[in-house]
Amino acid sequence: MSTTPTTHELHVKGMSCQHCVKGVTRAVQAHDASAEVRIDLSTGKVLVTSGLALPAVRQAIEEEGYEVLA
């Protein structure tokens, strides 16, 4: 994990409800408890501010069962 938090913008397919929001948030925060996760269900946009590198954020979301498009 890097020391300086960075904001990553991802587009995630398959999220449709608050349960999805909680799942994605928990998945990222399991790797960085202080990560800030903002999700717009209507666009599928996920903003993650974290010390995690982008590949780690992407992997956490994919392991939760969602497809990361970008």
Three-state SS letters, 14-66: CCCCHHHHHHHHHHHHCCCCCCEEEEECCCCEEEEEECCCHHHHHHHHHHCCC
Q: Please give the residue range of the domain that contains residue 25.
A: 6-68
Is pTM beyond 0.75? Reply is yes
Q: What is the CATH number of the domain that holds 37?
A: 3.30.70.100
Question: Residue 4 in 3-state DSSP?
Answer: coil
In a domain, residue 1? The reply is no
Phi, psi angle pair for 38, to nearest 5°: -120, 130
Structural contact between residues 49 and 36, judged by C-beta atoms closer than 8 angstroms: yes
Residue 24 lies in a domain: yes
Within a domain: 15: yes
Work out how many domains the chain is built from and give that number: 1
58, 10 contact by CB (below 8 A): yes
pLDDT one-digit tens code per residue, 35-44 = 999 999 999 9
Q: Encode pLDDT of 16-56 as tens digits.
A: 999 999 999 999 999 999 999 999 999 999 999 999 999 99
